[in-house]
Structure 1
Amino acid sequence: MYSTDHAEIYDFIHAARGRDWAAEADDLAKLILDRRPEARSLLDVACGTGEHLVRFATHFERTEGLELSEGMGRIAEAKLAGGTVHSADMRDFDLGTSYDAIVCMCFSLSYTRTVEELRSTAASMVRHLAPGGVLIAEPWWFPEKFIDGFVSASLAEEEGRAVSRLSHTVKDGRTSRMTVRYTVADRSGIREFTEHEILSLFSEEEYKAAFAEAGCPVEYHPGGPNGRGLFVGVRP
């Protein structure tokens, strides 16, 4: 779960890395509306700071988020001007309602530690999906595509603030372990912090099986907004 320090700089550093949340949300909305033109409601699972939700609100009448990180959820709520961000664990949640579309982006599913947790998360999502509803999920790298020892570096700058991000990711059995070191310089001084993320290396077949077992078969679409592809399905 992301720390408060990370939440506060998340949008700033990832925008500098080239993320365009509005364009991504527009593309996702098209995928949804092509399959369910009458879609009016959407749930963004593991919505982070809510950048996708801000744009989704221009496409759907009711948009809500679900986020476990308190810092991320607080930022998302502030952006949505009265919109709802549920504080809950995606592995097992019950919101008492259903949605025409559910999305789970930015490899959030890979934070589940086991295939059983992946299946539980898929089941929770599908339970909230209306019949004929559209589900879209973005995976982490499949085992055969993961680059062991991958290194990345980014720098974001604006007047009075600069943030650097260095990451190193290694394979550890069926997981990848990412170490991310941040340096933040602003008018108050310079501070550093390090995040450690464990991301499961599920196979394409394991993702598909989890959603099929939950009652919403999905197809894998290569490419996607971040090169890892998307799983897209419609609940019968």
Structure 2
Amino acid sequence: MDSSTGSDNFSSVYARAYDATYCDKDYEAECDFLEEIFCRYKGGTVQSVLDLGCGTGGHALLLARRGYQVWGIDRSPEMIAIAREKARTAELANSIHFEVADICSLDLRRVFDAVICMFAVLSYQVSNEALVAAMCSAHRHLTSGGLLISDFWYGPAVLVQRPSERVKIVQDGAERLVRITQPALDTEHNVVQVRFHIMRLRGKEVVEEANEEHELRYFFRPELEFYLAHTGFVIEHFCPFPQLDERPGERTWNVTLIARAC
């Protein structure tokens, strides 16, 4: 049995289990949502996209297939290796580039029409310093008037609904993946400490196992407005993810922010 414990990067076990664990995630619909934002707030002129915290490339690959020039950035070498292999298999190497890097210190020396931070990547910026660095990085890579689009954990919903333990079991070929999620709410620091226990089973045998400790910050609109304004952005819109014309509320765990670089 292969066993590992996650640190700052996702463990290799977690990375290999990632796509199977989120097999029910509707990336196509989420890219439709992104294109709706591109159309409404950039008049359909977006041609290049930087995906910060791209993971295994779920959004980046679909956007590349739809004709965008895409760069995907993630600090997990295992995730990027999977994303590159998927790009090679899909014959998208000419329209997409994946790179291992920290989004907070990234400097590609090029700009994009839009920067996306999907799947609560912003919420992984737990400290104020990391949040500012990530926003500055996004701004540094945007054209004037370019869009920053990010979903995040919404404070009012987290405090009302409260995170709870969950178990997810999915079939991955001849094997089963079991992920146990155990969250702990820290209201003093506006974070949720999440412990993942992942097992890959072949029959009754555990062939791979990993423990991961993640920490995610939940945000409130006024603080994000403050940080965005002080890193060179103008707020365009807040909405439930992925519902552009609705308003966030206490049942809206994931909220989307849309901001414009000025």
- TM-score of the superposition, structure 2-length normalised? 0.82
Change (3 A) 1:159 1:5: closer
Q: Distance in 1 between matches of 2:171 and 2:130?
A: 38
Aligned CA-pair RMSD: 2.0
Name the counterpart of 1:75: 82
Partner residue in 2 for 1:165: 179
Kindly report which structure 2 residues correspond to 1:58-137, keeping only aligned pairs within 5 A, or say none: 58-81=65-88, 82=93, 83-137=96-150
Aligned to 1:54: 61
CA distance in 2, matches of 1:196, 1:220: 32
Residues 141 and 170 (structure 1 numbering): CA distance in 2 closer, same or farther, change over 3 Å? farther
Task: Give the structure 2 partner of residue 12 of structure 1.
Answer: 20
**Unpaired stretches in structure 2, ≥5 consecutive residues:** 1-8, 243-251
Partners in 2 of 1:60 and 1:129 — Cα distance?
19
Q: Does 1:222 align with 2:228?
A: no
Q: Which position in structure 2 is the counterpart of 1:203? A: 220
* Match of residue 258, structure 2, among 209, 228, 232: 232
Could you tell me how far 1:143 is from its partner in structure 2?
A: 5.7
Q: How far did 1:149 drift?
A: 5.0
Query: How far apart, in 1, do the equivalents of 2:56 and 2:110 lie?
Result: 23
Contact 2:136 2:231 (C-alpha < 8 Å) held by counterparts = yes
- Aligned mate of 1:185, from 183, 189, 201: 201
Give the TM-score, by structure 1 length.
0.91
Aligned equivalents of 1:228 and 1:61: distance in 2?
25
**Cα separation, partners in 2 of 1:142 and 1:33, compared to 1, 3 Å:** same
- Which of 136, 139, 154 is the matching residue for 2:168? 154
Q: Which runs of 5+ in 1 are unaligned?
A: none
Q: Hey, what's the Cα distance between the residues in 2 that align with 1:21 and 1:197?
A: 23
Tell me the residue number matched to 2:155. 142
Identity among equivalent pairs (%): 25
What is the number of equivalent residue pairs in this alignment?
234
Amino acid aligned to 1:151: E
CA separation in 2, counterparts of 1:104 and 1:67?
11
TM-aligned CA distance change 1:60 to 1:216, over 3 Å: farther
Q: Please give the secondary structure, in 1, of the residue aligned with 2:153.
A: coil
SS of the aligned residue for 1:96 comes to coil
Q: Secondary structure at the match of 1:222?
A: strand
What SS does the aligned partner of 1:138 have? Answer: strand
Supply the AA of the counterpart residue of 1:19: K
Q: How big is each residue's C-alpha offset from its partner over 1:86-137, in whole Å with a ceiling of 9 and x where there is no partner?
A: 2211112100000001100111112223112201110110111101211101
Instruction: Please tell me the residue identity of whatever aligns with 1:185.
Output: L
SS at match of 2:240: coil
Distance change >3 Å, CA 101–CA 212, structure 1 → 2: same
Q: Matched residue of 1:200: which SS?
A: strand
